[in-house]
Amino acid sequence: MADRSEYGRWTKDALIKRIQHLETEIRERDFQNPRPVEATGTTDGAAAGAATTTSPGPGGARDGGREAGKGSKSPRKRPTNRKIDPSRYSTRLVALKLAYVGKNYGGFEFQASANLPTIEEELWKALVKSCLIFPENPDEVRFDDWQYSKCGRTDRGVSAFGQVIAIRLRSNRPKAPEKGKEEEKAAQEVGVVDDVNNDGGAEVQAEMGVQEDIDLSGSEEKVEKGFDDFTDEIQYCRVLNRLLPKDIRVLAWCPTTPEDFSARHHCRERQYRYFFTQPAYPPIPSSLENPRAHAAATNTRADKPKDGWLDIAAMRAAAKKFEGLHDFRNFCKVDASKQITNFDRRIFESDVVEVEDVATALPFLDGDEFKSPNSTVAVGEDSPHGKFPKIYYFHVRGSAFLWHQIRCMVAVLFMVAQGLEEPAVVDRLLDAAAQPRRPNYVLANETPLVLWACIFPRLEGENDDVSERKPPRDPAERHADAMRWVYLGEENPLNKHSPHGLVEDLWEYWRERKLDELLAGQLLGLVAAQSDVGRRLDRRAPLHVAASQRVFEGGNRAHMVGRYQPMASKATLPAPDEVYDREARRKGYRDALEWREAIARKRAEALADIVDADE
């Protein structure tokens, strides 16, 4: 039998199979060894009654008689099947701004078959436990019932510091009471409050706005006096942060969320940042470099940087080529189920930026054997002086992005930064006519990618289809966020700065990882300076490292690829139309066009059924 401590590492499917196996064993055991039926005769019943009679305590028969006469009071048991009564509460559509570190999650969107938890799964559990939503089956994740929308669907391992969702939540806004309310419903509501108090205490009860003593007459007066979003409303951010994991935080909410707001369709700009270090990986000392290493790169520039260092200037020049409206079919992964035919996306800004005041110095990188011969490449245009490693990020702003588009863009930029490709490779890949199929290059690592911000400008027009509304004519307003966010701490400063505030939580999260970084950096610096590699005590030791090109893909290690294959000679993947036709034939259609026509007919029929039902 497996140790119970191992179950935490099992996949979901394996756990289900294990449970089914154990249930089968229990049924077979019960069938082979049925439990004996107890006798129910009068004599046995009397004996059983005598055996279960409580014996007198230290006080003797006198005390026992007193207790028997009075009758003992057992503590009142709370029913476990009490549910909140949705009819007693009003609801409102609320926009929430989230931040999460996605390294330990299987993506943002809920997936029943995922081995790792998802952000939406954690959100659902917190929303249900806090009684902000009241689904019929709390164990079943069904966001569609709550007017739910999300701005971006980050993939596994990707983080977000400005994700936005909209969802209909319970509100403290008074609701006009119905006449003839029974007191039993009020008592039932008190039971729900008691269960909530067991989880979070009286403080959480007050934050959630669920009151134990429900006064229906007082609610009428509250309606007349008006409702304040900050003194009367539920503290959504704080309530959820008390229940969410430490690496998922709610940063702000919008009290003026329109009733028709869609976090997906109203968003007109999404900003991403992809972080990396300079150097990207530890350089090899010049005395150990293989003279044939440059030949292993084949299509390299004459000013190729030293192995490990990145040419920030060339990387920035290539990044600028993404700006504007382009066909990005060679910078994405094609999803056969989506049937996307338009790969044009507009990029407002694309640049490489240095992060100030975050570097941890490693003195060995200043040594002559580790420096790049080209000081401009090593130091960068913006920092003529400084210590290494430095931190940079690829900054990109656009209206919308394709699947894995950012990671594809970064992968190509890293090839340029290493001197393996010219910046002009971006122009060739953006020319869909000349390059209809994407070269089979490896995507950049997902962990350093962050959805940084989602922008919702004021939209002009009254079109019912939000996607058809136009941004403001004034260019200055097109990229300004019109959402009136209320950040945690603005309504109550103690929610941000206190022993239980947001800053305290994030400080604890940051400090643990900062000490890990500090200790790892001290150890790395100690090891790098500890030995004299020039002694070469082993006469059989090779004179140089292997003549194999290392390629940086954004992860913690560079990959050995042997002889680098230029982008122009890489094998290509099937074109999007070929992928769609193959998937259509697998589903029984002649081609993708017939499949899309069938989907359009089904949508039209469904819409017609809705119209007929309304009439």
Catalytic annotation, residues: 155
Beta strands (DSSP E) in 335-460 are: 344-355, 390-398, 449-455
Q: Give the Cα separation of 329 and 437 in Å (integer).
A: 8
Q: Give the Cα separation of 392 and 379 in Å (integer).
A: 12
What are the tokens at 486? Answer: 């209320």
Burial 75-101 (b: 16+ CB within 10 A, else e): eeeeeeebebeeebbebbbbbbbbbbb
What are the tokens at 10? Answer: 């099992």
Let me know how long the chain is.
615
Q: Give the Cα separation of 365 and 344 in Å (integer).
A: 42
Q: Which residues contact 354 (CB under 8 A, 6 or more apart)?
A: 380, 382, 383, 390, 391, 392
Q: Give the Cα separation of 430 and 219 in Å (integer).
A: 61
CA 277 to chain centre: 23
DSSP 368: T
Q: Give the Cα separation of 256 and 513 in Å (integer).
A: 37
Kindly give the interhelix angle for 576-586 and 592-614, rounded to the nearest 10 degrees.
Answer: 70
| Residues facing residue 92 across a β-bridge | 169
Please state the three-class secondary structure of 140-165 as a single string. CCCHHHHCCEECCCCCCCCEEEEEEE
Q: Give the Cα separation of 102 and 247 in Å (integer).
A: 8
Torsion, Cα of 251, 255, 260, 264 (10° steps): -10
Burial 451-462 (b: 16+ CB within 10 A, else e): bbbbbbbebeee
Q: Give the Cα separation of 120 and 108 in Å (integer).
A: 6
Q: Give the Cα separation of 241 and 250 in Å (integer).
A: 6
- Helix, strand, coil percentages (3-state) for the chain, rounded to 5, are 40, 15, 50
